[in-house]
Chains A and B, each alone.
Chain A
Amino acid sequence: AQSVTQLDSQVPVFEEAPVELRCNYSSSVSVYLFWYVQYPNQGLQLLLKYLSGSTLVKGINGFEAEFNKSQTSFHLRKPSVHISDTAEYFCAVSLSITGGGNKLTFGTGTQLKVEL
Chain B
Amino acid sequence: GQQLNQSPQSMFIQEGEDVSMNCTSSSIFNTWLWYKQDPGEGPVLLIALYKAGELTSNGRLTAQFGITRKDSFLNISASIPSDVGIYFCAGRMDSNYQLIWGAGTKLIIKP
- Are the chains A and B members of one assembly? no
- A residues contacting B by CB (< 8 A) are none
